[in-house]
Amino acid sequence: MKIEFLAADQARGALAVPVFADKTLSDAAEAANSASGGAIARALDAARFDGKPGQVLELLAPAGVDAPRLVLFGLGDKEKLSDSVVEKSAAAVIGKLLLTGETEVTLRLDGWATGETAARAALGARLASYRFDQFRTKLKDEQKPSLAITAIAVDDIDAAQEAWSGWSAIAAGVDLARDVTNLPPNILYPESYAEKIEELSAYGLEIEVLDEKQMDELGMGALLGVGQGSAFESKIAIMKWNGGEEGEKPLLFVGKGLTFDSGGISLKPGAGMDEMKGDMGGSAAVVGLMRALAGRKAKVNAIGMVGLVENMPDAAAQRPGDIVTTMSGTTVEIHNTDAEGRLVLSDVLWYGQQRFDPKLIIDLATLTGAMLIALGNTRAGIFTNSDEIADALFAAGNAADEPVWRMPLGADYEKHIETKNADIKNVGEGRLAGSISAAEFLKCFVNDKPWCHIDIAGTAMGGMKDDPRQPSWGTGWGVRILDRFVRDNHEA
């Protein structure tokens, strides 16, 4: 989707005009209503449309209006209008027009919108236009997106373009995260994923990839144990962005990258196992974030690390009952090979904090089904040893429309991962506090650094059906909250 900003008198293609609460017409809607001889007012009277955010009403070839389609979109109460509402409403317009045969649309925001607001409308349009069609070879013409250009009519074009330069980088990061989540596991496996990450050097990121020989020399027995049943070699990809002060400690972001998770010997049920191609959603968020930070030249030092592994039930695969030694020296008894993500993260977390001495650590993972039961698919759970990080992420999540909810940690949960045969075990006590025991496991490997674990099992896959910005199964969740966290708290 191409985004343009222009003056109102340059509008072309389909025309989208805003309507506020209680059918209050914007100036652009008033002008169209007058030109059409009151057609808009009559349409509003006939339709269940009163200007609520997200409502869309389409008029085909309205007389007197120089546009093949006129789309009314609701923005709600003008006094309570936020950029987030504008973003969602613009996305609703794109969702309505994407397959209609229209190739261009102009959203009339002139007369009231700032450059920042116009850029947020553009972001909504970009996110709503996402498609993952590369393997659909027999689509009919009417199934293919026709809309190629979204133009935003705004008074201050220069301000809108300047704001969009930053938001467009975030959109690119979200799209990248969606792409890698949606790719099938025969196309995206640890080696090919690492190669895709290496391509990000084109944006100024420094990329380093560790192979199994290097990980073995480092003593990463937990990560390597997970991947030993796969035909694909495990990898760790490291992305560095040096946009802050020289010598300033970096922020460290770590992602779980299980390109496919069969459960290993503790095999998952067959129904729905195809969706385990998305068990790398945490890594997708980190990769997308690093693309966004580099794209907008963020004034921060940041490092992204992703453990890329496939978990398969081969004859050489890890078994329940095995005991592995992590890079930290902590021994782990394997009680369930499907609790593999925490094993991968344990070695990556330890290596990252030992090598880079970061200011703080945030990890993301589609870690536990229990998180989905607890919070559904609209919020991610956060587990942290830092009130400061918790408060900042809560604010960033609300601002970025990727909300989070803090979950508990504590000594009363540490006993859930105790075992008689090793230092700790890789699962908790049956069905009790599954997400918390997983977080307690990870806490063992951060060495008291300020740290937060974000369990995105409910938000990384499946899409938000009632949000027009989320048209994809792979949501790209995490890019926006982390970017907002960085911008609001850690940039010069």
pLDDT at 58: 96
With beta carbons less than 8 A apart as the criterion, state whether 376 and 458 touch.
Answer: yes
Q: What is the pLDDT of residue 464?
A: 73
Contact indicator for 325, 219 with CB cutoff of 8 Å: yes
Q: Does 342 qualify as catalytic in the annotation?
A: yes
Cα–Cα dist 196/200, whole Å: 7
pLDDT at 340: 98
pLDDT under 70 in the chain at which residues? Answer: 463
Per the CB < 8 A criterion, the answer to whether 75 and 85 are in contact is yes
Q: Indicate the pairing of strand 104-108 with strand 149-153.
A: parallel
Rounded CA separation 278/281 (Å): 6
Quick check: 203 and 291 in contact, CB under 8 A? yes
Cα three-residue angle 451-455-457, rounded to 5 degrees: 165
Residue 60 bridge partners (DSSP): 69
CB neighbour list of residue 364: distance below 8 Å, 6 or more residues apart: 253, 254, 255, 256, 281, 282, 283, 285, 286, 453, 454, 456, 478, 482
DSSP-assigned letter for residue 420: S
> Domains (ranges, CATH) in the chain?
2-155 (3.40.220.10), 184-489 (3.40.630.10)
The pTM (predicted TM-score) of the whole model is 0.97
pLDDT at 466: 85
pLDDT digits (tens, 9 = 90+) for 453-479: 999 999 999 867 789 999 999 999 999
Give me the pLDDT at residue 358, please: 98
Distance CA 274, CA 479 (A): 24
pLDDT tens digit sequence for 260-306 = 999 999 999 999 999 999 999 999 999 999 999 999 999 999 999 99
Rounded to 10 deg, the angle between the 479-489 and 281-295 helix axes is 50
- Residue 486 zone, left/alpha/beta (φ > 0; ψ -120 to 50; rest): alpha
How far is residue 232's CA from residue 188's CA, in Å, rounded to a whole number?
11
pLDDT at residue number 262: 98
User: What pLDDT does 465 receive?
Assistant: 74
- Tell me what pLDDT residue 444 has: 98
Q: What is the pLDDT of residue 146?
A: 98
In whole numbers, what is the pLDDT of the chain averaged over residues?
97
- Of 344, 323, 187, 340, give the one whose Cα is nearest residue 264: 340
- Identify the pLDDT of residue 27: 97
The answer for residues whose C-beta is within 8 angstroms of residue 180's C-beta and 6 or more apart is 188, 193, 196, 280, 283, 284, 287, 474
Among residues 120, 296, 342, 443, the one annotated as catalytic is 342
Q: Are the CB atoms for 198 and 278 separated by under 8 Å?
A: no
- Residues 265, 316 contacting (CB under 8 angstroms): no
Rg of the chain taking only CA atoms, in angstroms: 24
Q: Is 277 a catalytic residue?
A: no
How far apart CA 294 and CA 304 sit, in angstroms, is 12
E-state strands within 82-164: 104-108, 149-153
Q: Assign residue 317 a region: left if phi > 0, alpha if psi is -120 to 50, beta otherwise?
A: beta
Q: Which of 23, 196, 268, 299 is catalytic?
A: 268
